[in-house]
Structure 1
Amino acid sequence: MGRVDNLDWLETFVAVVDSGGFSAAADSVHRSQSRVSSHVASLEQALGARLFDRTHRPVVLTDVGEAFLPHARAVLAELGRGQAEVDAVLGVVRGHVVLGSYPSASAAFVPEVLSTFTARHPHVSIDLSERPTLDLSEALECGELHLALRPLAPHDHTDGLAFRALWREPLVAVFPPDHPLAELPAPLSLSELVAHPLVTIGGSIGRDVLYEAHVALKQLGTATRIAWQTDQPQTLVNFVRVGLGVGITNALAMSVSDTAGVVVTEVGTPADGRTAAVFWNPHRDTPRAAHALLEAILATPPPRGTVPCRRSHQHHARPGSPHRSGG
C-alpha cells in the first residue's frame, strides 16, 4: 500500500460519491472525466483496494469505500476550516453566493453592486438568479438563494424572512403621446387613470396577488378595468404602444425599458409607490461571503430616480438582527 498524499484525489473521490458517478463528478470539480478516473485509480492504488464497484450503474461504494469515506470528508472539512481561519486573519472572503433578483433591479442596480464587490472579493463566486417576485421568496424559504432583491409587495410567502429596505420609487403611468391623459398636468391622480383600460405588472395565473399598483387602485374604491397583466415591463410598454391600454407600473421598470414613442409620467402619491429591499432567510446559515455581499448591497447607492430608505444604522447590519417581514 502506498501513501495518500494528494488532496485532489480525496476531493475527486468525494465528488464521485456525492454526484453519483464519474461523469457528474467531472462537471462538479471542473475536471475531465479521464482525470477523475485517474485520480480515483491513483487513490485506490495508494490504499491497495477498490473504492467503487464499477459493475453497478450508477457506481456504488465497496466496503472499503464506505470505511474510507468519513475520513476523506474529515480531512477536507478540516482543511476547509483551516483555510477559513487563515482567511479570517488576512481579511480574505471566499465562497459562493446565489443572489436572486427581479428584472428591473437586475438591470438598474445589480451591475453596480457586482462590479464593486467582485473587485474587492475576487475569491467569491456569485450566481444571479432572476425570477418573478413570488418565486424569489419561495426560493429563499427552501434555501435555493442566500439573498434576494425583492419589492416588499406583494407580501405572499415573506413570513419569517428578514429584510432591509433599500429604496422607494413612484408609480408611473404609460400612454401614447396622443392619449387624452397627455393633456393633463403631472403628476396624474389615480382617479384619472381608472376611466381607461389598464395594463399592469402581475401575471401570476391563478393567484390573487396584489402588487403596488393593485393596492393603490383598490384603495380608490372605484371600479377599475385591468385589461392586461404581464411580468415583463417591456411587454407592458409594447401593449401600450399598440393601444391596448394605459400602463401603470413602477418607475424603475420603465427606466430600464425602451419607452420610445410613449409618455411616462408619475402617478399617485409617494405612498402608492414601491419599496425595494434585500431579503434573506434568518433560519438558515448565512455564509461569510453572503454577509459580505449584503454589506455591499447596503452600501451601494440606489438607482437614479429612486429615493433611498433611511438605513444609516443598517450599513453594518448582519443577518440575525433583521426586520421581520409583515405577511
Structure 2
Amino acid sequence: MLETFTLDQLRGLITVIEEGSFSAAARKLHRVQSAISTAMANLEAQLGVAIWDRSTKVARLTDQGQTILAAARKVCSEVDALRQLAAGMALGLEAQVSLCVDILFPLAALVDLCTQFRAEFPSVDLRVDTQTMTGVSARVIDGSATIGVASPMGVTAGLERKVLTTIQMVPVVAPTHPLAAVRGPISTTRLRDAIQLVLSELQGEGHADQAVLSSRTWRVRDLHTKHALLRAGLGWGNLPTHLVQDDLRARRLVAIRVEAWGEDEHTLYLSAVYRGDATFGPAHRWLLGYLEQVCLRDAAPVRPR
C-alpha cells in the first residue's frame, strides 16, 4: 500500500520541471532548496517508483516519472477546480446555467457568448438548446431552460420579457429562380403559386403562420436546411441577414421585394424571456447582461437590395 503523499509534493514536482531545476523551483515556491530536494526524495520513496533520472545532474524525469508528472498535473488541476467550485457556491454561484435560443439568433453571437461565459465562470456548466417560435418559451416554462431568447412569435404570455435588439429578415431566392428576374415589388398574386419555404416549430404550443403568402409551402424545422433549399432554387422565403450577407454579396442568393410587406416589414425583435419566479445567481445575471451586448453587435440590420 502506498504511503501518503501530499498536494504540496505534487506541486513541487510540477514546479521543478517547469522551472528546470531544484534551485529555481525553490525560488519560485519561496522555499530553501534542501526542502524541495527532501520533498521530491520522499515522494519518490512513497510512490515506490523511480521518478528521477540520476544519470545526469539536471532535473530530468524517467519515463515512469513523466507518467507520474502527467497524473500530478491532472490531480492538481482537479483540486484547483474543486476549490474554485466550492468558493463560487459559497458566494451563491450556480453549478449550471441553461439557455434556450431561437434558431434566428446569430451563431457568431452565441459562440462569443459561450466563450466569454467560460472565461467568466469556468466552474459553471452551460446548457444550450435551440428551438423555433414558442418552443423557446416552452423550454423556459417547463424549467429545462432558465433564460430564453425568443422572436416575437415565440413569446408566450406569463413570462417576463426584456427586449434585447432587432434582427433583419430578408426575402430571398436563388438567382436561377423565376422570381429573381422580377424588377420591383412582387405582387401577392405572383407569389401565390410559388413554393414558399417556411419554418415549422420544433416544440411548443403551436403558432399561427406568420408572413406566409403562398398557397404552396414546404415546411422545414431547421434554419440551415431552409437556407440550403433556397440556395438550390427550390422556393422563396425569409432568412436573417446575418446568415445570408455573404450569399447576397456573392449572388448565390438574390433579395426580392414583396409588395404586401412594404419596406419595414422585416424587422423582428429578439427578447430575453424568463419566469417571474426565477431566482438568478451571478452567472445567470451576467448571462442576461452580456446577451444585450453580444446580440446587439452581431444582429445589426443589413438590407442589401
Normalising by the smaller structure, the TM-score range is: 0.5 to 0.7
1:113-124 alignment, distance < 5 Å: 113-124=113-124
Cα offset, 1:161, TM superposition: 0.6
- Alignment of structure 1 residues 219-298 onto 2, 5 Å: 224-254=214-244, 262-265=252-255, 267=257, 268=261, 269-298=263-292
What is the alpha-carbon distance in structure 2 between the residues aligned to residue 195 and residue 273 of structure 1? 25
Where in structure 2 are the equivalents of 1:60-71 lying within 5 Å?
Answer: none
Where does residue 164 of structure 1 map in the other structure?
162
Q: Displacement, 1:142?
A: 1.7
Say whether residues 1:202 and 2:192 are aligned partners.
Answer: no
Question: Displacement of 1:137 after TM fit?
Answer: 0.8
Give TM-score, length-normalised by structure 2. Answer: 0.57
> What are the residue-to-residue correspondences of 1:69-80 with 2, within 5 Å?
none
- Whole-Å separation in 2 of the counterparts to 1:199 and 1:259: 22
Percent of counterpart pairs with the same letter? 17
Gaps of 5+ in 2: 1-85
Q: CA offsets, 1:280-317, max 9 Å, x none?
A: 11123333321121111123252545349xxxxxxxxx
CA contact (8 A) 1:174 1:264 kept: yes
Aligned with residue 171 of structure 2, among 173, 177, 200: 173
From the superposition, tell whether residues 264 and 104 of structure 1 become closer, same or farther in structure 2 (CA, over 3 Å).
farther
**Who wins on radius of gyration, i.e. which is larger?**
2
Unaligned runs of 5+ in 1: 1-81, 218-223, 309-327
Q: Separation in 2 of the partners of 1:161 and 1:205? A: 17
> Does 2:105 match 1:105?
yes
Contact 1:174 1:248 in 2 (8 A): yes
Tell me the TM-score normalised to structure 1 length.
0.54
Q: Counterpart amino acid of 1:278?
A: A
- Give me the whole-angstrom Cα distance separating, in 1, the residues matched to 2:118 and 2:264: 34
Shift in Å, 1:148: 1.0
Alpha-carbon contact 2:165-2:299 (below 8 Å) kept: no
Contact 2:198/2:218 (<8 A) preserved: yes
The change in CA–CA distance for 1:144 and 1:100 in structure 2 (over 3 A counts) is: same
**Which letter maps to 1:179?**
H
